[in-house]
Amino acid sequence: MKKLTLGVLSLSFLLLTACGSTGDNNNNASSASNAPASSESADPASSQPAESPEVPAEPVTIEFWYGLGGKLGENMQQLIEKFNASQQEVIVKPVVQADYSETEKKLQAAIAAGTVPAAVLSANVDWAKKGYYASLDELIASQPDFNKEDLVQTFLEQGQVDGKQFFLPMYGTTQVMYYRKDAFEKSGIKPEDLTTWEALGEAATKMAVKSGDKTTFYGWEPMWGRENMMDAVFSKGGSVLSEDGKTVLIDSPEWISTWEFFRKAIHDDKTMRIHSGGQGWEYWYKTIDDVMKGQAAGYIGSSGDQGDLDFTQLAAMEQPGWEGVGVGKPVAEAILAGIPAKASPEQQQAAFKWFSYFMNSENTAFWSMNSGYIAVRQSALDDPAFVAYSQENPQSTIPLKQAAHGSKPFQDPTGGKITDALKIAADKVQISNVSAEKALKEAKEVAQRELDKLNK
């Protein structure tokens, strides 16, 4: 990775004020003041009044919808305020949602009502195909200093639909492992030895503390939902669909054995625990609290959690692989932002300027250093400030290392029907203690039926 340092990199299309040429106006004013007092002897042209200075255009105010809380929300607010103060053409008005899902639900209602925001931290491939999002190709082409080649291409490609750029990567994320250093030391566990899920399962059993049938200290806590278990499936070589895209494979041995591993640890052995439900990110923060308060040895969480964690007590490591398979291959995903198609051209241009500002090298590095998310520009990753920061905070390098051998996120060709089936199956396994084989075979029937509708 290469290019400029944060200290010298500037966003060349930071917005200029919409004033007229003050030099010309000043010259005209000077000529008028030096004209002869008698209008009869004056040149008619020189006796014309000076032109009035152009009044700056009113700034374009846009709403930016996003579902971020905690430290992430504070960082976003800081960058919005910084952007608003940096120029006079655009004012970004933050509209905070509970989470990503709520943002999409409210956007759906806004699209139906025809009163959309100009910028949204959300992406939906199916909606882009239906024309609900604006293509960004012309906006990108109109700004050659945007430097598309400097972006992490894996992240940029995730925003493309049918060869067109509909979404821009604001930051990257991957799910990593956070653990209590004291819990590992107490049980004599070395993080470098936990390169497989089998080894992690044994370590969780060793670290768990039980009183009768009740577990008082959990060896590990996966995060609620399908994502953690899907990461582990991909690391075992499993896929959602066959190569030709016509067959759903979620009842394969790789899926069943992996999800059963988690079901057994949660319900039979009680060495792991799942927090579920609640409002917004409530379940997420309960999981983090268990580890921070000394009720669990570690958890699987987003790289973006780093801004909320105390690394005097915690450390981070990559997700493991499986015995005989190789390194882990969890998903490395870009968090994308888009511009609704029903936004006016003026608002679309304003939204693109805001996105471009957020993505410049200085700000993407700031976001990474303050949140744990992955910077989207290569030039930011080699900046001396970021290098110095990563040397002092080694946990910040874990997401970058893991992303280098990560998997791409699953793109659901059915518009979310397969994903929905997997969500239901995950709840059955994690919450209802249904066997992985039963839950996944039921999900396979639903998912295959929906996929077949597309292939007719």
Residues 279 and 153 grouped into a single domain: no
Paired with 95 in beta bridges are: 65
Is 1 within a domain? no
Our measurement of the distance from residue 52's CA atom to the centroid of its chain's CA atoms, rounded to an integer in Å, reads 48
At 29 the pLDDT is 30
| Domain identity same for 324 and 369 | no
Question: How large is the average pLDDT for residues 161-182?
Answer: 96
Per-residue pLDDT of 134-166, as tens digits, reads 999 999 999 989 999 999 888 899 999 999 999
Question: Parallel, antiparallel, or unpaired for β 214-217 and 119-120?
Answer: unpaired
pLDDT tens profile 310-360 = 999 999 999 999 999 999 999 999 999 999 999 999 999 999 999 999 999
DSSP assignment letter at 11: -
Q: How confident is the model at residue 34 (pLDDT cuts 50, 70, 90)?
A: very low
User: Do both 234 and 107 map to the same domain?
Assistant: no
Instruction: Take residue 431 and report the two structure tokens written for it.
Output: 């919450």
What Å distances lie between residue 84 and 122, 349, 356, 416, CA to CA? 22, 15, 13, 36
Please report which confidence band the pLDDT of residue 118 belongs to, taking 50, 70 and 90 as the band edges: very high
The DSSP symbol for 41 reads: T
- The pLDDT score that the predictor gives to residue 41 is 33
Instruction: Give the C-alpha separation, 337 to 355, whole Å.
Output: 8
Helix axis angle for 253-263 and 417-430, nearest 10°, is 40
Domain termination residue (choose one: 403, 426, 446): 403
Determine the pLDDT at residue 39. Answer: 33
Q: Is residue 38 part of a domain?
A: no
**Which H or E element spans position 301?**
strand 298-302
Domain count along the chain: 2
Per-residue confidence (pLDDT) for residue 49, from 0 to 100? 42
Q: Which pair of tokens denotes residue 410?
A: 């699953």
The domain of 107 spans 60-173+333-403
Q: Please, which residues bridge with residue 298 across strands?
A: 179
Residue 47: inside a domain, yes or no? Answer: no
What is the rounded average pLDDT of the residues 105-114?
Answer: 96
Query: Within a domain: residue 18?
Result: no
* Reported pTM: 0.71
* Residue-averaged pLDDT of the chain: 87
- Euclidean distance between the first and final Cα of the chain, in Å? 45
Give the C-alpha separation, 441 to 428, whole Å: 12
pLDDT digits (tens, 9 = 90+) for 218-231: 999 999 999 999 99
Tokens representing residue 378 in the block? 């290569």
Out of 362, 379, 403, a domain closes at 403
Distance of CA 249 to the CA centre of its chain: 27
Neighbours of 423 (CB within 10 A): 15
Dmax over Cα atoms in the chain, in whole Å?
109
The verdict on 230 and 345 lying in the same domain is no
Note whether residue 19 is domain-resident. Answer: no
What is the CB-side half-sphere exposure of residue 299 using CA atoms within 13 A?
A: 28
Inform me whether the pLDDT recorded for 386 exceeds 60: yes
As a whole number of angstroms, the distance between CA 30 and CA 381 comes to 52
Mean pLDDT of 274-284: 94
Q: What is the pLDDT of residue 397?
A: 85
What is the full DSSP assignment across 243-290?
A: TTS-SB-TTSHHHHHHHHHHHIIIIIS--B-----SSTTHHHHHHHHH
What is the per-residue pLDDT for 56? 55
Q: Do 351 and 276 belong together in one domain?
A: no
Same domain, 82 and 70: yes
> Does one domain contain both 309 and 182?
yes
Query: What residue has token string 């319900």?
Result: 267
Q: Do 113 and 257 have their domain in common? A: no
Alpha helices (runs of H) in 142-252, residue ranges in sequence order? 153-157, 181-187, 197-207, 226-235
Same domain, 253 and 292: yes
Is the same domain home to 293 and 413? yes
pLDDT computed for residue 390 by the predictor:
87
The dihedral sign for the CA sequence 133, 106, 280, 272: negative
CATH number of the domain at 72, please.
3.40.190.10
> Is position 24 within any domain?
no
Whether 273 and 367 map to the same domain: the answer is no
Among the candidates 403, 421, 439, a domain finishes at: 403
416 and 293: one domain? Answer: yes
**The two structure tokens encoding residue 418:** 């397969």
Q: Considering the domain boundaries, does residue 44 fall inside one? A: no
